[in-house]
Amino acid sequence: MPINPQNVTDYPNNNTYFLVWNFREDVPVENIKLVFQRICALVINLNNSALDRFPNYKASCVMGIGYDAWLKLDLPKPLPKELKNFESITGSKHTAIATKGDLHFHIRSDEKSFAFDMASVITDAMKDIADCVGEVQGFRYWDSRSILGFVDGTENPHGADRDFFAVIDEQDPAYKGGSYLFVQKYIHNLDAWKSLSIEEQEKVMGRTKENDIEMSDDVKPKNSHIALANIGDDFKVVRDNMPFGNVTSNEMGTYFIAYASTFSTVEKMLTNMFVGNPPGNYDRILDFSTAQTGTLFFVPSLDLLDEFSG
């Protein structure tokens, strides 16, 4: 019987909601378990409904489960091999901080109204047992650029490679069709970034700004984002990053989101960025982008979600 993954390999959309929820300590565990069963069924229902009603909206809802939540809900053991609480990665200057998250919802739709409705339905189902500790509304900025003005996600795999790098197969047979989901909310220092010339910005990124062309190895700085975040053709993830922000408060940023068949790939990338390769040679983009969150989740297959729904 084929294993059906959630929509982890869908391409970035025009409108996105990212929701992070933590279960309340004062709610009986049995109540949480009952609502969780309904949530699993709801996620399946939302995806089926989106496909039937609005096939052109490219709409989907992906749910991830954190380590503490997996234990609280008495989900299957042994756990997915690499599911754990993310631990901070600290370099000489910057830190990839760790934050708590029990459930993560990644909602996409070309039609903003439908994305809003899915987020609202999930909120109605969750609000009596959990607190929403993170809500980010992402949007497509021009030709998939971040607010910093550079194309984001150029190194993403395509075609069959998306499944290979994002979906578990033989790495963990008990959890085939699942994925590791890692998220970080970055806030950009736009005043400092805009003070750089375009040439200086390109050296930070390792790419040209207008045409998105990677610099050659003999020109690209060793501490550029491309040099450190890309750790080799055998170690890729599927990113679905989205810009977000408030113009008047100047709080603009990027919601980094990666789906991977092995979380160790993401850890290696983060270590390169924050600690440096070699140590001390950290990713220069971190001088302009600060990680405010960092959480690991596991995304069960649709088949497993169906089992969880009771």
> What does the pLDDT read at residue 250?
80
pLDDT, tens only, 268-289: 999 999 999 999 999 999 999 9
The answer to whether 237 and 266 have CB atoms below 8 angstroms apart is yes
Rg (CA), the chain: 19
Q: Could you give the CA distance from residue 238 to residue 260 in angstroms, rounded to a whole number?
A: 7
Segment 223-277, tens digit of pLDDT = 999 999 999 889 999 999 999 999 888 889 999 999 999 999 999 999 999 999 9
CA dihedral over 267, 272, 276, 282, signed as positive or negative: negative
- Could you state, in order of their start, the residue ranges of all structural domains in the chain? 15-308
Beta-carbon neighbour count of residue 172 at 10 Å? 18
Q: Which residues are catalytic?
A: 152
Q: Which residue has the tokens 């040439």?
A: 199
pLDDT of 1: 44
pLDDT in tens, 51-83: 999 999 999 999 999 999 999 999 999 999 999
pLDDT of residue 2: 58
Q: What is the pLDDT of residues 9-31, one digit of tens each?
A: 999 889 999 999 999 999 999 99
Tell me the pTM: 0.97
> pLDDT tens-digit profile of 199-215?
999 999 999 999 999 99
Whole-number percent of the chain with pLDDT over 70: 99
What pLDDT sits at residue 3?
85
What is the H or E stretch that residue 73 is in?
A: none
